[in-house]
Structure formats: C-alpha cells, structure tokens
Amino acid sequence: MLKTVRILGIFIIAACLNSCKNEGKKDVAEEQEAATTIEPAAAPSNLKTIPEGKNSTVLSRVIQMPQGTQFARYSVTAHLTDDFASEENNFLVFVPSDDAFAALGEDKKKWFSNSKNLPELTAMLKGHVVKGNNKLLEKIPTANSPLDLSTMSGRDLKLFSENDSYFLEDASGNRAKIINEGTSSSNGTVFLIDKVLTVN
C-alpha cells in the first residue's frame, strides 16, 4: 500500500512539473510571438476611403492602385480629395505612375512638395483630369482624328490611338502612353499613364 502511495505521489509531482514546464514554454512562445508581430500601419486619416460594400469613387481607385501612390499623396497636398470623391461629377483621371513621377527627379518632386508651389502642383494634377461625360470614350480616336480633351486646369490634351496603343499628348507635344485598360468607378474612370504631362 505504501509503495502504491509513493508511486502515485511521484506521478502527481511529475505531472505538476510537466505542466509548469509547458506553461513556461507557452509564456515564452507568446512573448516571442508578441515581439515579432508587426502591427499594420494605420490608414492615413487625411485620405478618404470608401466603406466596403459602397461604390468606389475615382479617388478610392487611385488610392488602391499600386502605382498611384504619388498622385494620391499630391492630391491630398493640393486639397483635391473632396473634388475627386464627389459623386456629383464624372471624371476621366489619367494617373501618372509612381515610376513616371520618379523620372522627374528628386529635385522636381521636392519642388512640387513645397507649399510655395501649391498652385503649380494643383495645376499639374488637374491637367491630368477631365471633368465631364464618360461617353467621350465611346468615340475611337486615331492619330489622324484625335479626341480633344479639356482638363480641369484649362489645358488641353489630345487622345489618340497608334499601333494598337492609346496615347495622350499635351500642348507642348509631350506624349504619355496609357498602360492599363482603365478602372471604372461610381464617378468616373481611372487610367494609368507612363509619363507626367503638363509640367512646366
């Protein structure tokens, strides 16, 4: 009987030690997991996002574009987010890619980021946006018969096709190629282009 009690006691002690050991491992594992977990970055409070299930505006489409980051940031700086989020208007937005902005060079990017140059930044952004009717795109422009577009900045662009690709051309003769098929939204259509146009 005494031997049985001793064996039972040994089992109880071993079970307690094993439980404590596992608990210690669990605590260490939780601490390691907490140390390596990276909290997701909070969405910028000054960019409007569209709640899930709602129609997306051109603004939200630009924000979602992997290559639309710089245009979105500049739009915030120029206080154009309310305009682009408005459901009362219809837009064609030709977004220069991040690579296109990078091609301007750091000096030009910093120049646009300077608050003293806000009017020029605003004009540059609006020079890529046509406010009006999306039925413009129902026409098929060609090199010989381009489609004239009047932008929000008052500057004109020509849209035309050439060798199965579409291009925009500004008044200075600078050309940008449309590099995606366009993304529709509740208040317009967004296209990605490979060059920044209407830059002084």
The verdict on 30 and 62 lying in the same domain is no
What is the tally of structural domains in the chain? Answer: 2
The verdict on 28 and 75 lying in the same domain is no
Is 127 inside any structural domain? Answer: yes
Summarised one tens digit per residue, pLDDT across range 125-183 is 999 999 876 666 666 666 677 888 999 999 999 998 888 888 999 988 999 999 988 88
Structural domain for 74, as ranges: 58-193
Residue 200: is it exposed, middle or buried by C-beta count within 10 angstroms (0-12/13-18/19+)?
A: exposed
pTM as predicted: 0.69
DSSP states of 70-123 as a string? HHHHHHHHTT-HHHHH-TTS-EEEEEE-HHHHHTT-HHHHHHHHSGGGHHHHHH
Summarised one tens digit per residue, pLDDT across range 98-121 is 999 999 999 998 898 888 999 999
pLDDT of residue 156: 92
